[in-house]
Chains A and B, each alone.
Chain A
Amino acid sequence: MAKINTNISSLKTKKDTVVNARDKALAADQARWDQQIKASRSEWERQRQVNFTKLEAKASTAVQVAAVKTYETTLTNAVNTRRSANDAARTNFKNGVASALADQQATINSQTAALSTAVSNAATTAQASCEANPSNSSAIHSTFVASLKTARESFVNDRKADAKLGDTIKQLEQTRNAAIKTANTNFQATAKAARTTLKNSFGNSSI
């Protein structure tokens, strides 16, 4: 019995170690991707400003100057709106994944505790039965083994049934991707309209 309890405890510790490593890996990946996005946005900002400055130099009338300013403001606001929407989508995804992982952990821990309790109860019952009826050891042993088997198989089946983490994360991905796609589409429509308005101000010339 002591060996069974030790094995359960040891395997649970191994599971906890794997979970900790996984959580660290996920956090590191997410931080790296966030940094990549932040760095690239900074670069796009710099290049966009270079282009805005050149564009402003093309304006030769007060109307054109105002039109360029409006275009820049509209575009900048649209970029920021898109970024905020996409960041929110990513945050929701990350939070959803964290929540799903926490739920899975809670389920595993609960199932492990149930297994330990069932094993302990089987042992206690067997011991009490032996003390009450020492001559019936064979039947008591059979009952004890059957109880252990039921406890183990219940745990295994419960783990198999708890295979929804992958589906949950896939759904979260789809939700995130759909939100990002919508934000990008809206942005492109706004940018196109702003460009058309600017061109009209310059007499539809190539600008």
Chain B
Amino acid sequence: MKKNQAGFVDMMLVIIIAVLLLGMCYLFYKHRHVTKVAPTTAKSQSIPPAIGSTAAIDNLTSQEVNNETAVDQKHSGESATAQSANSAAANIGSAYNESSL
């Protein structure tokens, strides 16, 4: 019995040590493994034209045009604002209900 028990314990020890070793190998592999980072492809940044170039001057005037166009687009809200009095005017037509007289 004692001999069997000793053998069993030895076997368990071997298994435990083997599991521990496997675990350590896994952890080692995980840390060691270099995750290949996808090379960040630098976004191709458009290089602004050099100050003093005609291209730079063209950019400025284009920006001015675009900026003013954006402001003009805001004028579209004027239509809704202008018509905001329509309901108030229509309400005058509900000043009385002749059928209740």
User: How many chain B residues have a CB neighbour from A under 8 Å?
Assistant: 41
The answer to whether A37 and B71 touch across the interface, beta carbons within 8 angstroms, is yes
Give A6-57 interface residues, CB cut-off 8 Å to B: 7-8, 11-12, 14-15, 17-19, 22, 25-26, 29-30, 33, 36-37, 40-41, 44, 47-48, 50-55, 57
With A and B bound together, what is the CA distance between A44 and B57 in angstroms?
10
At the interface, is chain B mostly helix, strand, loop or mixed? helix
The answer to whether A51 and B52 touch across the interface, beta carbons within 8 angstroms, is yes
User: How many chain A residues have a CB neighbour from B under 8 Å?
Assistant: 75
- Contacting chain A: which of B9-17, B24-32, B38-46, B86-94? B86-94
Q: Which residues of B contact A119 (CB under 8 A)?
A: 96
Q: Which residues of B contact A184 (CB under 8 A)?
A: 65, 69
B4 on interface, CB distance cutoff 8 Å: no
Contact of A22 among B60, B76, B84, B91 (CB under 8 A): B84
B5 on interface, CB distance cutoff 8 Å: no
From B51, B57, B101, residue with most partner A Cβ within 10 Å: B57
A108 on interface, CB distance cutoff 8 Å: yes
Additional A-B contact list (5), CB under 8 Å, known A29-B81, A159-B92: A11-B91, A33-B72, A44-B61, A48-B57, A148-B101
With A and B bound together, what is the CA distance between A55 and B56 in angstroms?
10
Distance between A8 CB and nearest chain B CB, rounded to angstroms:
4
A130 on interface, CB distance cutoff 8 Å: no
The answer to whether A55 and B53 touch across the interface, beta carbons within 8 angstroms, is yes
Give the interface of B toward A (CB within 8 A): 51-54, 56-58, 60-61, 63-65, 67-69, 71-72, 74-79, 81-86, 88-96, 98-99, 101
A65 on interface, CB distance cutoff 8 Å: no
At the interface, is chain A mostly helix, strand, loop or mixed? helix
The answer to whether A55 and B52 touch across the interface, beta carbons within 8 angstroms, is yes
The answer to whether A51 and B57 touch across the interface, beta carbons within 8 angstroms, is yes
The answer to whether A22 and B81 touch across the interface, beta carbons within 8 angstroms, is yes
With A and B bound together, what is the CA distance between A17 and B71 in angstroms?
28
Distance between B14 CB and nearest chain A CB, rounded to angstroms:
78
Distance between B74 CB and nearest chain A CB, rounded to angstroms:
6
The answer to whether A166 and B83 touch across the interface, beta carbons within 8 angstroms, is yes
The answer to whether A11 and B95 touch across the interface, beta carbons within 8 angstroms, is yes
The answer to whether B65 and A33 touch across the interface, beta carbons within 8 angstroms, is no
User: Assuming the A-B contacts A51-B56, A195-B58, are A26 and B68 also in contact, with contact meaning beta carbons closer than 8 angstroms in the complex?
Assistant: no
The answer to whether B82 and A100 touch across the interface, beta carbons within 8 angstroms, is yes
Contact of B96 among A19, A90, A104, A148 (CB under 8 A): A148
